[in-house]
Amino acid sequence: MLYDIAVRLWRPIIVGWGRLEVEGLDAVPEAGPLLVVPNHDSQMDPMIVGVAIRPRRLVRFLARASLWRVPLLGPVMDGLGQIPIRRGTGDAAALDRARAVLCDGEALGVFPEGRLTWGVAIRARSGVGLLAGWCPEARVVLCSIQGATDFVRFPKRPRVSVSFFPPAGGPRRPDEDPQAYAARLLGELRAGVPPTPAGRRAIVGGPPRIQRRLAAQQRTSPLE
């Protein structure tokens, strides 16, 4: 219920102002466990995917746990069925919950990059590979998003496109490491959509506060 309300609220912004174009929706199965794997350049990406995919499915995302500390946002995230995950900590509880959601036949969105790229190619995380191995019956659909970073550059009007497609390399092979599989999926996404910096000023690597935060994360978690 709350999910569909959110989709209706966001639709005029994303479809109307953002001129959303969607391709490949027939690649999205209408039922059964589904992993949706998008690139991540904009904070708008989860909303864009939610609106684009809604004619076929609703999708829950693994989202950074810090969002639940924003006043009033936590209950909304819970109402939308999003799953908090503490990045860079090997959050087993969050992955267990995501596994249960997926194996219960729901659609789960996982950004293999795990965070905004800020226009820099970053290493894929293993989460999507682990989930694909834990629920081998899940379909995997890649989701390329272009143009989302222009939403914050008013009065420039965005032109957003979303494309759903199956991985050209096929499902995860039995001998394929989870991280290698995640890297393969990310490589297919980024072959058509290069990383794009977010923010009004589009600074590659992010503004100084972002660069400091990412540098601190890398010191504590080299694979972050």
pLDDT at position 222: 43
pLDDT at residue 224, as a whole number: 40
Domain CATH number, residue 124: 3.40.1130.10
pTM above 0.75, yes or no: yes
- Going residue by residue through the chain, which has 224 residues, state the pLDDT in tens, using 9 for 90 and above: 688 899 999 999 999 999 999 999 999 999 999 999 999 999 999 999 999 999 999 999 988 787 788 876 777 777 778 888 887 666 788 889 999 999 999 999 999 999 999 999 999 999 999 999 999 999 999 999 999 999 999 999 999 999 999 999 999 998 999 999 999 999 999 999 999 999 999 999 999 888 888 887 766 554 44
Which domain does 170 fall in, by range?
A: 2-220
**In 3-state terms, what secondary structure has residue 191?**
helix
Dihedral, CA of residue 160, residue 200, residue 76 and residue 212, to nearest 10? 130
H, E, C per residue of 145-176: EECHHHHHCCCCCCCCEEEEECCCCCCCCCCC
In the prediction, which pLDDT does 89 show? 65
Question: How many domains are there within the chain?
Answer: 1
